[in-house]
Amino acid sequence: MQGHCFCGFIRYQAGGAPFHETNCHCSICRRTSGAPFVAWFTVRRADFTFLAGEPATFRSSDHGTRTFCPRCGTPVTFQSTHSPDEIDVTTCSLDEPERVPPRDHTQVATRLPWVELGDLPAFPGERPS
């Protein structure tokens, strides 16, 4: 699977089978995206590579680092020191986001009250192991 930021400066490839497909409702995802929640999927870190452009990075929490396009601001990835062999990728930055639909909602304890959840499972915090 390949994807890119809005302006096309950043291009990436995510190989392997995606997992942890989710809509995250945490306040950090909301604030960094300017959206009511963010759709993410995870791949093994070894299966992800940037093909073009150099993303900007910032530390969004004590364990999390995010990348985004330095030109257009599109959020691209999230990495946690809690899971160093994994990388989360913003689903809607994929060339074909319809290929990786969310399987659940996470962090719904902090979701906005006007966001109504549909038929997917919802978890107050992280997905149970």
Work out the mean pLDDT of the chain and round it to a whole number. 96
Question: What pLDDT sits at residue 127?
Answer: 86
Domain of 38, CATH number, reads 2.170.150.70
**115, part of any domain:** no
**120, part of any domain:** no
pLDDT in tens, 26-82: 999 999 999 999 999 999 999 999 999 999 999 999 999 999 999 999 999 999 999
Question: What pLDDT sits at residue 36?
Answer: 97
**122, part of any domain:** no
**125, part of any domain:** no
Q: How far is CA 91 from CA 17, 20, 62, 101, 114, in A?
A: 14, 11, 24, 8, 22
Task: Indicate if the pLDDT at residue 129 is higher than 80.
Answer: no
* Residue 9 lies in domain: 2-110
pLDDT in tens, 85-100: 999 999 999 999 999 9
Question: What pLDDT sits at residue 128?
Answer: 82
Question: What pLDDT sits at residue 94?
Answer: 98
Q: In what order do the strands lie in the sheet with 11-14?
A: 2-4, 11-14, 48-52
Alpha helices in the chain (DSSP H): 27-33
Question: What pLDDT sits at residue 119?
Answer: 87
